Amino acid sequence: METSHLLDIAGTYGAPVYVYDAEKISSQYRKLTQAFRQVDHLRLNYAAKALSNLSILRLMNHLGSGLDTVSIQEVKLGLLAGFAPESIIYTPNGVSLEEIEEAAALGVQINIDNLSVLEQFGNKHPDIPVCIRINPHVMAGGNSNISVGHIDSKFGISIHQIPHLLRIVELTKMNINGIHMHTGSDILDIDVFLYASEILFDTAKHFPDLEFIDFGSGFKVPYRQGDIQTNVEELGKKLSLRFNAFCEEYGKSLTLAFEPGKFLVSEAGYFLTKVNVVKQTTSTVFAQVDSGFNHLIRPMLYGSQHEILNISNPKGRERYYSVVGYICETDTFGSNRRISEIAEGDILAFRNAGAYCYTMSSNYNSRYRPAEVLWYQGKAHLIRERETFDDILRNQIDTSTLFETAPKSLTEK
Ligand SMILES: *Cc1c(COP(=O)(O)O)cnc(C)c1O
């Protein structure tokens, strides 16, 4: 979609607003399926937590994707969006047995990542097939926040606990139909990923009734020019070859599954904000927008660098700005960025705003969450309204009668 479309959307729906380009989501989906064309049974389960608007989930379902969910609420959203229960996988961490049972009762694929719950679930429901999340203890790059495969991670069942795991499966007679790993959010190095996959194949050999092997996600997308991105074509070639060889050895054509979040939606998203104030200090020129980490927390939480464009003046002379928000905290989106000259009232577009942006937003400072718009087949569709004051009050109990009598004065005590 073009810059002028974004500007029109900001004009129609106001700022701040999130915009998602459906065509970019579709092309990313196609790119990934194409890369694994040599595999007989491929399954992409879109990771709902990246962007969970119902309309996005419907689009994913329409593309043929399955859904990866991490909470019972995401499972319910997926079902509402039209996913068949069997095309939803539920991969929680640290949730109660009750929540897992609730998901199982809805008919979705259960993925268990600790021995305690595995044993309890297996004892109570030996007939419900279960996938197991393995921790191969491989760091596939990224920083300590996002590499979850290492030794101290809370995710997955350690490969060093396989003997214990096998005893539980034997005693409960449960049916393990899938093996899963998710090594982290950034696959920097295909060879590291392939190395982790070997551990998964080794583990898989212990389970005779598998239907699928799920390699999780971690596809890296570029945020700035020159950023590394996962070469999915190369990964596709190498892993497909290895996977097919494994299936031969295993004696069954298994499904190869992935759970991409960021890869499918990050680059499809734009966050549009309006510049309230241009503020010159002794050292910096600040552009203050009508947003903050209440709407987009990734720069402050992960240090992610979202490219920022002035779409109101795209051809203007470039100057240096620090783009900050209006929250009463330090909420720097970008320091000393070169952006075409900014005037108050201009619309700034943040790129890569599809994944983990709206879903991480809050009402901090009692601000409204933004609206969301889907750009689909050349038209803008509002898919979530901006919040209103009623949303701020929702669930708050009116306690005004508690305070009807005058407060005890301090001297009375
Ligand atoms: C978050 C998550 C994903 C998606 O990761 P991305 O980096 O967004 O692709 C996949 N699988 C699991 C289990 C997750 O928790």
Mean pLDDT, each 10-residue run in order, the chain (413 residues): 96 98 98 98 98 98 98 98 98 96 98 97 98 85 49 84 97 97 73 88 97 93 86 95 98 97 97 98 96 97 95 97 94 96 98 98 97 98 98 96 82 62
Contact in structure between 358 and 55 (CB atoms under 8 Å): no
Atom number of ligand 1 nearest to Cα 133: 13
Q: Residues with catalytic annotation?
A: 328
Report pLDDT for 406.
82
> What six digits make up the tokens of 96?
């109660």
Our mutation pick for probing the ligand 1 site, out of 88, 259, 267, counting the most ligand atoms within 8 A of Cβ, is 259
Report pLDDT for 145.
40
Among the listed residues 299, 280, 283, the one whose alpha carbon sits nearest the alpha carbon of residue 291? 299
The closest residue, in CA terms, to atom 7 on ligand 1 is 185
Contact in structure between 70 and 108 (CB atoms under 8 Å): no
Report pLDDT for 191.
83
Rounded distance between C-alpha atoms, residue 81 and residue 358, angstroms: 18
Report pLDDT for 195.
87
> What six digits make up the tokens of 359?
């879903």
Angle of CA points 245, 250, 254, to nearest 5°: 80
Q: 284 C-alpha vs ligand 1 centroid, how far in Å? A: 37
Atom number of ligand 1 nearest to Cα 186: 7
Q: 262 C-alpha vs ligand 1 centroid, how far in Å? A: 8
Residue ranges around ligand 1 (CB below 6 Å): 47, 49-50, 68, 70, 91, 182, 185, 216-219, 259-263, 355
Atom number of ligand 1 nearest to Cα 70: 15
> What six digits make up the tokens of 156?
């997955």
337: which strand partners? Answer: 321
Report pLDDT for 397.
97
Rounded distance between C-alpha atoms, residue 224 and residue 16, angstroms: 22
The pTM for the full model equals: 0.95
| Burial group, residue 11, by CB count within 10 angstroms (0-12, 13-18, 19+) | exposed
Q: Which own/partner contact pairs does 109-113 have at CB distance under 8 Å and 24+ positions apart?
A: 109/177, 109/178, 111/178, 111/180, 111/214, 113/155, 113/156, 113/157
Q: 93 C-alpha vs ligand 1 centroid, how far in Å? A: 12
Report pLDDT for 144.
42
The closest residue, in CA terms, to atom 6 on ligand 1 is 261
Chain centroid to Cα 340, Å, comes to 31
Rounded distance between C-alpha atoms, residue 321 and residue 327, angstroms: 18
Torsion of CA 359, 130, 203, 37, to 10 degrees: -60
**Cβ atoms within 10 A of the Cβ of 59, count?**
24
Instruction: Spell 27-56 as b/e; 16+ CB within 10 A means b.
Output: ebbeebbebbeebeebbbbbbbbbbbbebb
Using left for φ > 0, alpha for ψ between -120 and 50, and beta otherwise, residue 69 falls in beta
List the domains of the chain with CATH numbers.
Answer: 22-262 (3.20.20.10), 269-388 (2.40.37.10)
286: which strand partners? Answer: 279, 322
